[in-house]
Chain A
């Protein structure tokens, strides 16, 4: 009995699959625009992680014009709801679906199994499949450059960092910032406060004020609001924005920001799908690919510092400089990267230690 049922189910599955396949190949011949869906973890707003993704969506629309239509669903919680939204896109005939938060990884994989002819691109995760690609950006390259500015401009030799969760992506940023800072100022230290939330303006501001009162005179954040930049502006200190150019939230405080640019990548991925040459990829682009940029520097940054940063930016793009070039020691004195070597992507993606110059301890396994 049981086998019978299973066979029937499989046959129905096959029939449905074939029908779907036929429907899709039919669509490819007609002039219908390709439908592209985006799933966002927070409201689009006017700065931040999701805002930058939405900018990318608009660039895609601009680049491909009538050949695509895009739709976005914002504020989708990571967890039970994500799978429904992703599935809804796939079932609605969307050819490409971009899922733009780490917590969408398992739901994306689950939906992708059921919709083999839809292409999914998941941001910042580590699981891929035949029709699921992964994308991330080398945020740490921008962090290194802001660290260089911080090292040159700090008077107290102390910078503060408001961070969300101790995952590798965030730890990379903290460490790259410290590496950049100490490359020009060996006495510099970085203090970190974890707020255990991606978006909590109240707590972010509190953490920023704590760091400032502990002697930090430049602060930055890896969270999603503009609260840290605003706190620095109020206290007359410096800050770096993140995700977006946040200069309008702190015209005096905002020295620059590490900004994310997804548009080029989105356009390329959709073009590949349209041309039928898309393959599962794991894209990790940085300054070289134009996915990471620095926002325009504040006039308060002296010319020699600006020139230095521009030179280092060129070196990173050319592959001549890497933020984790050996020797790299962790903050307990253990050597992590030997002199003459650089840290590989594999180690980077698992980073679970602080480099020398970062105060405190990371939560351990």
Chain B
């Protein structure tokens, strides 16, 4: 006897939407067991992990601040993923966005112009798009694999940033430490809630979610991309421009990641450092999939992901749990989601080896 996965003729669309909830439920059950084994009161641990971080206004502001880049990048990536364009290098595009925006901030250092900040947003988007254009060009011209190219370019982007802050853009008053000057007020996002770090970047991310919804679910181009993702041959037969969709998918992802990078250096960081992101470009891939590549789902998933980061810190402070808890919860969430998806698209079938079948028949006779 062995087990076989067999594709379901018609996977339930309802279950498709329910599977993130199912995954969240399973994660909580597994977390319950985990906390118990670690000798912590599971209820108290859950409270610390999921409620304590957002107990006051500042906590909520921090939650939204951390979710902002995640939702922005994820919605950009979803545009490509819908069309089976696999941009894995959002982290690099984010870094390029930060570099371009930082360049503008440093060039206009000390200027009072109101145009510095909008220029930084545009520069960030251009930086991200340029970086994403490389895999797009190579894919459409030479049919290279965009997964590999975009991923490898992450390392190049980080080295470029490292060189810039170590040499030409280094703060001359900074004791040779690899960092730029701190940006002036004109090059920073204004705060959204006084006394917290939540800034205008959050509104840009929300706008991107809305725009993503209109584009993916309500525009013809978005429809074309979905068709290309679901049925490549049908898209070709309908005469949709395949190369155009690769370009669009990558450029949208690049622009979103670039603006997210700009938002980090013009927001909570306020200068260029050797590292400007704790891996938002990669975390956003999880967010995009947990959110079912749907803008509303992405909004919710980014909040959950952000809460996991904050909860991990609270668990360290309040419960003496190690920082690995954050990664563990993120990993469990994705694992259960993929697991649920498998059982939604496939069913398990018990296959009897031929000999056993024959024997069964004999027994029946």
B-contacting residues of A (Cβ < 8 Å)?
9, 37, 43-44, 71-81, 83-85, 87-89, 91-92, 102-103, 106, 126, 165-168, 171, 196, 349-352, 363-365
Contacts of A364 in B (CB 8 A): 167
Instruction: Check A196–B182 contact: CB distance below 8 A.
Output: no
Contacts of A167 in B (CB 8 A): 175-178
Instruction: Check B316–A196 contact: CB distance below 8 A.
Output: no
Contacts of A75 in B (CB 8 A): 323
Contacts of B270 in A (CB 8 A): 106
Residue on A nearest B270 in the bound complex, by CB:
A106
- B273: Cβ under 8 A from any A Cβ: yes
Contacts of A352 in B (CB 8 A): 176
3 closest A-B pairs (Cβ-Cβ)? A80-B268, A75-B323, A77-B278
Instruction: Check B313–A84 contact: CB distance below 8 A.
Output: yes
CA–CA, A175 to B57, complex, Å?
50
A79-B278, A80-B268 known; A89-B176 Cβ under 8 A: no
Residue on B nearest A75 in the bound complex, by CB:
B323
Contacts of B268 in A (CB 8 A): 79-80, 83
Instruction: Check B264–A80 contact: CB distance below 8 A.
Output: yes
- Report which of A77, A88, A126 forms a contact with B275, defined as CB distance below 8 A: A77
Taken residue by residue from 172 to 186, chain B's Cβ proximity to chain A (1 for < 8 Å, 0 otherwise) reads as 100111100010000
CA–CA, A308 to B253, complex, Å?
62
Residue on A nearest B326 in the bound complex, by CB:
A75
Instruction: Check B275–A78 contact: CB distance below 8 A.
Output: yes
- B345: Cβ under 8 A from any A Cβ: no
- Report which of A9, A76, A80 forms a contact with B269, defined as CB distance below 8 A: A80
Could you say which interface size class chain B belongs to?
35 or more
- B322: Cβ under 8 A from any A Cβ: yes
- B190: Cβ under 8 A from any A Cβ: no
Contacts of A44 in B (CB 8 A): 322
CA–CA, A79 to B309, complex, Å?
14
Instruction: Check A165–B274 contact: CB distance below 8 A.
Output: yes
Instruction: Check B275–A43 contact: CB distance below 8 A.
Output: no
Taken residue by residue from 303 to 345, chain B's Cβ proximity to chain A (1 for < 8 Å, 0 otherwise) reads as 0000001100110110010111000000000000000000000
Question: How many Å from the CB of B160 to the closest CB on chain A?
Answer: 12
CA–CA, A37 to B318, complex, Å?
11
Contacts of A103 in B (CB 8 A): 273
Having A71-B320, A77-B275, A89-B317, one finds 8 other A-B pairs with CB under 8 Å, namely A9-B194, A72-B316, A73-B313, A73-B323, A80-B267, A81-B309, A196-B274, A364-B167
Instruction: Check B176–A106 contact: CB distance below 8 A.
Output: no
Question: How many Å from the CB of B317 to the closest CB on chain A?
Answer: 5
- Report which of B167, B194, B322, B324 forms a contact with A363, defined as CB distance below 8 A: B167
Question: How many Å from the CB of A282 to the closest CB on chain B?
Answer: 13
Instruction: Check A196–B159 contact: CB distance below 8 A.
Output: yes
CA–CA, A153 to B177, complex, Å?
34
Contacts of A363 in B (CB 8 A): 166-167
Question: How many Å from the CB of B264 to the closest CB on chain A?
Answer: 6
CA–CA, A126 to B324, complex, Å?
31
- B232: Cβ under 8 A from any A Cβ: no
A43-B322, A350-B175 known; A78-B273 Cβ under 8 A: yes
Contacts of B269 in A (CB 8 A): 79-80
CA–CA, A79 to B269, complex, Å?
6
CA–CA, A328 to B25, complex, Å?
66
Contacts of B273 in A (CB 8 A): 78-79, 103
A74-B322, A196-B159 known; A79-B277 Cβ under 8 A: yes
Instruction: Check A349–B175 contact: CB distance below 8 A.
Output: yes
27 examples of A-B residue contacts, CB within 8 angstroms: A37-B317, A44-B322, A71-B316, A73-B316, A73-B323, A74-B323, A79-B264, A79-B268, A79-B269, A79-B275, A79-B278, A80-B65, A80-B66, A80-B264, A81-B66, A81-B309, A83-B268, A84-B197, A84-B313, A85-B313, A166-B176, A167-B176, A167-B178, A168-B175, A171-B176, A363-B166, A365-B170
CA–CA, A363 to B169, complex, Å?
13
Contacts of A83 in B (CB 8 A): 197, 268
Contacts of B264 in A (CB 8 A): 79-80
- B58: Cβ under 8 A from any A Cβ: yes
Question: How many Å from the CB of B57 to the closest CB on chain A?
Answer: 12
Contacts of B24 in A (CB 8 A): none
Residue on B nearest A37 in the bound complex, by CB:
B317
Contacts of A168 in B (CB 8 A): 175-176
CA–CA, A37 to B162, complex, Å?
30
Interface centre among A78, A352, A364 (most CB of B within 10 A): A78
Instruction: Check A84–B62 contact: CB distance below 8 A.
Output: yes
Instruction: Check B316–A74 contact: CB distance below 8 A.
Output: yes
Residue on A nearest B174 in the bound complex, by CB:
A126
Residue on A nearest B277 in the bound complex, by CB:
A79
Contacts of A106 in B (CB 8 A): 182, 270-271
Instruction: Check B166–A79 contact: CB distance below 8 A.
Output: no
Contacts of A126 in B (CB 8 A): 175
Question: How many Å from the CB of A39 to the closest CB on chain B?
Answer: 10
Taken residue by residue from 265 to 304, chain B's Cβ proximity to chain A (1 for < 8 Å, 0 otherwise) reads as 0011111011111100000000000000000000000000
Question: How many Å from the CB of B219 to the closest CB on chain A?
Answer: 33
Instruction: Check B167–A81 contact: CB distance below 8 A.
Output: no
Interface centre among B177, B274, B310 (most CB of A within 10 A): B177
Instruction: Check A88–B197 contact: CB distance below 8 A.
Output: no
Residue on B nearest A72 in the bound complex, by CB:
B316
Contacts of A77 in B (CB 8 A): 275, 278
Contacts of B177 in A (CB 8 A): 102, 167
Contacts of B267 in A (CB 8 A): 80
Question: How many Å from the CB of A351 to the closest CB on chain B?
Answer: 8
Question: How many Å from the CB of B336 to the closest CB on chain A?
Answer: 24
Question: How many Å from the CB of A329 to the closest CB on chain B?
Answer: 20
